[in-house]
Amino acid sequence: MRIIVQQGAIQQTVADAIVVNLFEGVTAPGGATGAVEAALRPPGAAQGPLGQRIQLGDFTGKLNEITIIYTAGALPAARVIVVGLGKAEEFTLDRARQASATAIRTARDLGCRTVATIAHGGGIGGFAMREAAQATVEGALLGSYTFQEQKTSANNRHRLESCILVEYDARKVAEAEAGAREGEIVARAVNAARTLVNRPPNLLTPAAFAEEARDMAQRVGLSCTVLEEADLAAHQMGGLLAVGKGSVNPPRFVVLEHAPAGAAEARPLVFVGKGVTFDTGGISIKPADNMQSMKADMSGAAAVFGAMQAIAQLGLTQRVVGLIPLVENMPDGRAFRPGDVITMMSGTTVEVISTDAEGRLILADALHFAKRYRPRAVVDVATLTGACVVALGEEVAAGLFANDEAWAACVQRAAEASGERVWRLPLYEDYGDKIRSDYADLKNSGGRNSGVGTSAYFLYHFVRGADSYPWAHLDIAGMMFSSETKGYHVKGARGFGVRLLVALAQGV
């Protein structure tokens, strides 16, 4: 879907549908909605079709509520889609994103090819036009996302070709344009991450993911290095190599770098994403029920991929490095096994208790590798533990661990700005006690209890030491999928983390 920004009056815009909005409790619509209503009011009538619906209680303006008005030739557009924004005092940009998504999806499902919308939240919403336009465009593109790569017949319900963002005030059009472009970059990056997660694991192997990264980097102007198995051996990445041993699809390690002129030598922000393209559990095999969801065990990697794509396209001024360890965790005659002791890139030895605690092994090597960049700060994103899902819930929030209060606060601000929720969890030393091994320096599992804390503390071990850095760990295990299409979420991969990481790099 193309995004077009246009100066004009929404009620005069030529499109298959136009979108306006209403705050809950408003009885006499103003602004663009009022102008549409006035144009639809029959001569001599006390009110127009929207006022009538409000009066009858048929439309109240609750968040994401929709009513469709057919204009019968009174306007160039045959349909008016009115979307509720909820109560004015509860309005946020995230609500603008949701409302936009719901309205644009309504137009799409009606079979519209072109839809025109106002920027939600710019007028009485109280937000700057730039922010309102960005949120509206993000909502439109995120909400109308579909994944159809493996469908053999084209779904012709989905033929939305363009979305026109209409701004009446000529002085605000440049601002709307800037916001729309930014929203477009960010939303396309989230959708790219969603597509990688949705793609089946037989197609998205570590090598295939690395190829996608190489193509993307070329397109947007990032530098990209892909380490293959021999390179991983040369770097002594014992964690990544051990996990990869059971698969015929060999591991990869992708390094993406955004090094803008003037900051190319600066200490970078480093993002690390867990890229397990499929997690069977290995020899410590998982139960069969719902195992297919473990194709999403590379959601952290996809978040880093998407964020790096957006950061390059936005032309952010700071240096950012993305590290993506990629591996498939399979049971096999060559697979690593419980009882094995492996030597990590850092030299630390790890006793394998469970081959299903594989994420921390590949992340540990990446977090150690990060030290060579002398990072300003690091954040890793990983679908690391079922225990985090038990603690915080599915589709609720990511767990946040950090070794630095200022950096934790930055991550929390980015989470609030993006609407991607995180909840801080503690790094108590007690968790460290539970992963001491009798046979090596560490063991990779502390058992069922304290599952999320011990996994974070395991990672913390590889961050500490002389060349340590401010670090945050996001456990996004509960945030892989949306179970239903709602607001700007579409059933399937969520693309969680892209917007948070971009906000972080923007220094929000």
Active site residues: 286, 360
Interface with Mn ion, residue 279, by CB under 5 A: yes
Rule CB under 6 A: choose which of 317, 354, 468, 485 binds ligand BES: 354
CB of 288 to Zn ion, least distance (A): 16
Interface with ligand BES, residue 445, by CB under 6 A: yes
State the virtual CA torsion across 166, 169, 171, 174 in degrees, nearest 10: -10
Interface with ligand BES, residue 306, by CB under 6 A: no
Interface with ligand BES, residue 451, by CB under 6 A: yes
Backbone angles phi, psi at 502, to 5 degrees: -65, -45
Closest alpha carbon to 54 in 34, 39, 73, 71: 34
451 binds, among Zn ion, Mn ion, ligand BES, none (CB under 5 to 8 A by kind): ligand BES
386 binds, among Zn ion, Mn ion, ligand BES, none (CB under 5 to 8 A by kind): ligand BES
What sign does the CA torsion over 271, 385, 340, 459 have?
positive
Amino acid letter, 111: G
Minimum CB distance to Zn ion smaller for 136 or for 277: 277
Cβ contacts of residue 473 below 8 Å, gap of 6+?
Answer: 379, 380, 382, 384, 399, 400, 401, 402, 456, 459, 460
b/e string for 88-103 if b means 16 or more Cβ within 10 A?
eeebbbbbbbbbbbbb
Interface with ligand BES, residue 179, by CB under 6 A: no
Integer Cα distance of 295 and 286 in angstroms: 13
CB of 344 to ligand BES, least distance (A): 17
Minimum CB distance to Mn ion smaller for 122 or for 206: 206
Instruction: Please report which helix (H) or strand (E) contains residue 105, including its range.
Output: helix 93-109
Interacting span for ligand BES (CB under 6 A) from 85-93, 190-198, 377-385, 421-429: 377-385
Rule CB under 6 A: choose which of 94, 279, 340, 351 binds ligand BES: 279
CB of 307 to Mn ion, least distance (A): 23
Instruction: Please report which helix (H) or strand (E) contains residue 2, including its range.
Output: strand 2-7
Minimum CB distance to ligand BES smaller for 143 or for 359: 359
CB of 98 to ligand BES, least distance (A): 25
Minimum CB distance to ligand BES smaller for 131 or for 356: 356
Residues of this chain, 45-104, that bind Mn ion according to CB under 5 A: none
Closest alpha carbon to 292 in 357, 388, 200, 384: 200
Interface with ligand BES, residue 356, by CB under 6 A: yes
Interface with Mn ion, residue 356, by CB under 5 A: yes
Q: Do 298 and 495 meet the contact criterion of CB atoms below 8 Å apart?
A: no
CB of 447 to ligand BES, least distance (A): 7
Q: HEC string of 193-251?
A: HHHHHHCCCCCCCHHHHHHHHHHHHHHHCCEEEEECHHHHHHCCCHHHHHHHCCCCCCC
Residues of this chain, 139-178, that bind Zn ion according to CB under 5 A: none
Rule CB under 6 A: choose which of 119, 389, 402, 422 binds ligand BES: 389
Count of residues that interact with ligand BES, criterion CB under 6 A: 17
Minimum CB distance to Zn ion smaller for 189 or for 480: 480
Joined tokens for residue 88: 């004015």
Closest alpha carbon to 101 in 109, 90, 113: 109
Minimum CB distance to ligand BES smaller for 345 or for 477: 477
Residues of this chain, 253-292, that bind Zn ion according to CB under 5 A: 276, 279
Q: How many beta carbons lie within 10 A of that of residue 349, not counting itself?
A: 15
Interface with Zn ion, residue 330, by CB under 5 A: no
CB of 472 to Mn ion, least distance (A): 22
Interface with Zn ion, residue 182, by CB under 5 A: no
Minimum CB distance to Mn ion smaller for 222 or for 327: 327
φ/ψ region of 458 (left if φ > 0, alpha if ψ in -120 to 50, else beta) reads alpha
Compute and round to an integer the Cα radius of gyration of the chain: 25
Closest alpha carbon to 27 in 67, 64, 60: 60
Interface with Zn ion, residue 475, by CB under 5 A: no
Minimum CB distance to Zn ion smaller for 118 or for 276: 276
Minimum CB distance to ligand BES smaller for 81 or for 335: 335
385 binds, among ligand BES, Mn ion, Zn ion, none (CB under 5 to 8 A by kind): ligand BES
432 binds, among Mn ion, Zn ion, ligand BES, none (CB under 5 to 8 A by kind): none
Rule CB under 5 A: choose which of 201, 268, 273, 359 binds Zn ion: 359
Q: Do 11 and 78 meet the contact criterion of CB atoms below 8 Å apart?
A: no
Interface with Mn ion, residue 328, by CB under 5 A: no
Integer Cα distance of 280 and 54 in angstroms: 53
User: Which residues bind to ligand BES, rule: CB under 6 A?
Assistant: 279, 297, 354, 356-359, 383-387, 389, 445, 451, 477, 480
User: Which residues form the interface with Zn ion (CB under 5 A)?
Assistant: 276, 279, 297, 359
